[in-house]
Amino acid sequence: MHRFFVPPTHIEANCVSLTADASRQLARVLRARPGDCIIVLDDSGYEYAVTLDSITPRRSTGVITDRYIGEGEARLSVTLYQGLMKADRFEYVLQKGTELGISRFVPFISERTVARNVVSSSRLTRWGKIIREAAEQAGRCRLPLLKETLSFAEACEAISKPAIIGWESERDVGIKDTLLCLKADVKDAQSISIMIGSEGGLDDGEVEYALSRGITPVSLGRRILRAETAGIIAAAAVLYEMDEMG
């Protein structure tokens, strides 16, 4: 069934009202009719089976017929600290990272970051929509958080441990061996942070600073990955090694 996130205030007792975006999609794209069933989510971890009783492009309503805990979330909380990039590339990270199961995105600006413009309110709105639609498509029951943009130093100070940082110049320490060493700590914390640079990568001084703050540099393999790919691959490796992918 089709899935739609709504604000918690849109659920009262057993009645649900859909947002304007969801109503427009139901009416004009999906051609839904009264009596059709959908899944509604309020970002609480619960899913609500809903039977639609009124559908218009501006407002749709339904009645809750069942309520249960969703199963689309990883037990492990993964935070991706991603160097800010050009809009389309950062949006790719948000979309695919949400599909994969990342819990939180924290953009940061480093020495080689190209896209240094202040993130506008309209851009944040668009990014929120990308995250929501990806979460609906992926069967998630919670929306990943998108935090404010930090400087590289601020990100290193704020980051939760255990934490790793992907670095193309690392030759001796691979992500697999690092995750095996960190597995007990990750299991105890039920969380891990991943830091990935922007298009220009990170300079040696930044990686040294990260290391001084307890962030472990790792190699992601012998091939050089694009900035928008590296974080997704690192998160997939983490979720796999921590038994979160089946």
Average of pLDDT values for 81-87?
Answer: 94
Query: What is the number of other CB atoms lying within 10 angstroms of the CB of residue 175?
Result: 21
CB 62 within 8 A of CB 53: yes
> Tell me, what's the pLDDT at 97?
98
CATH superfamily of 3-69: Hypothetical PUA domain-like; domain 1 (2.40.240.20)
> Tell me, what's the pLDDT at 237?
96
**Which tokens go with 213?**
């703050």
Average of pLDDT values for 89-116?
Answer: 94
- Give the chain's mean pLDDT: 95
> Tell me, what's the pLDDT at 114?
84
Query: What is the number of other CB atoms lying within 10 angstroms of the CB of residue 237?
Result: 21
Over the Cα atoms of the chain, what is R_g?
20
CATH class for the domain made up of 77-241: alpha beta
Q: What is the pTM of this model?
A: 0.94
pLDDT at residue 234 greater than cutoff 80: yes
> Tell me, what's the pLDDT at 116?
74
> Tell me, what's the pLDDT at 115?
78
Question: For a pLDDT cut of 70, what percent of the chain falls above it?
Answer: 100
Q: Report how far residue 204's alpha carbon sits from residue 93's, in angstroms, rounded to the nearest whole number.
A: 24
**Which tokens go with 70?**
């969703």
More confident site: 169 or 80 = 80
> Tell me, what's the pLDDT at 110?
94
> Tell me, what's the pLDDT at 96?
98
pLDDT at residue 118 greater than cutoff 80: no
Q: What is the pLDDT of residues 148-205, one digit of tens each?
A: 999 999 999 999 999 999 999 998 899 999 999 999 999 999 999 999 999 888 999 9
- The domain limits of the chain are 3-69, 77-241
Question: For a pLDDT cut of 90, what percent of the chain falls above it?
Answer: 89
Average of pLDDT values for 53-59?
Answer: 96
Q: What is the pLDDT of residues 7-24, one digit of tens each?
A: 999 999 999 999 999 999
Q: Which residues contact 128 (CB under 8 A, 6 or more apart)?
A: 146
**Residue at 195: amino acid letter:** M
